[in-house]
């Protein structure tokens, strides 16, 4: 592993621990040349499907983009960063295990909305308003009435 300080290629592992529920290995390393310590993280790289956007172009799945959208929707809401990370990791795992080569962005967006609805209804409405591109207040109110009905049904 290359040292981030002196760029030397030789380092040794000083400590290792499992993190993020056993899905990440945290390693504390020491450079053999400059003796400075640094941390690395290892995670299994899943074979994720390519995302097919609404306009037809394709791009690789981007976990950070997914998390960014969820964070914006949850801004100033009582949703922890850990809860968002957990939901993103779960969705990423589902996509990897699906075996699909391509997946429409619409499917991902719907799954994100389902997760946000369970975490925080305000975050769900925020995400849905951007994701579904409501054309007017009537579409927005229709979505709100569906949410209120689903709350009263459960």
User: Which helix (DSSP H) or strand (DSSP E) does residue 43 occupy?
Assistant: strand 37-43
pLDDT at 146: 80
pLDDT at 53: 93
Could you give the CA distance from residue 24 to residue 26 in angstroms, rounded to a whole number? Answer: 6
- Residue 85 vs residue 23, higher pLDDT: 85
- Give the mean pLDDT of the chain: 88
- Encode pLDDT of 9-59 as tens digits: 999 999 999 876 777 899 999 999 999 999 998 877 768 899 999 899 999
Of the chain, the percentage scoring pLDDT greater than 70 comes to 95
- Give me the mean pLDDT over the 87-102 stretch: 90
- Give me the mean pLDDT over the 114-131 stretch: 88
pLDDT at 154: 66
Grade residue 144 by pLDDT with cuts at 50, 70 and 90: confident
**pLDDT higher than 90, residue 66:** yes
pTM of full prediction above 0.85: no
pLDDT at 142: 79
pLDDT at 15: 94
**pLDDT higher than 90, residue 103:** yes
pLDDT at 138: 78
Contact residues for 111 (Cβ-Cβ < 8 A; gap 6+): 91, 94
């Amino acid at each position: 592993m290359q040292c981030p300080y002196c760029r030397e290629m030789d380092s040794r592992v000083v400590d290792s621990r499992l993190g993020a529920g056993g899905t990440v290995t945290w390693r504390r390393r020491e450079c053999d040349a400059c003796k400075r310590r640094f941390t690395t993280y290892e995670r299994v790289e899943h074979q994720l499907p390519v995302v097919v956007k609404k306009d037809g172009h394709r791009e690789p799945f981007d976990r950070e983009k997914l998390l960014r959208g969820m964070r914006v929707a949850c801004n100033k809401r009582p949703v922890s960063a850990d809860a968002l990370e957990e939901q993103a990791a779960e969705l990423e795992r589902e996509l990897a295990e699906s075996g699909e080569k391509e997946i429409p962005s619409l499917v991902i967006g719907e799954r994100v909305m389902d997760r946000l609805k369970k975490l925080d209804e305000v975050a769900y409405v925020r995400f849905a308003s951007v994701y579904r591109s409501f054309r007017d207040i009537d579409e927005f109110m229709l979505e709100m009435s569906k949410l209120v009905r689903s709350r009263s049904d459960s």
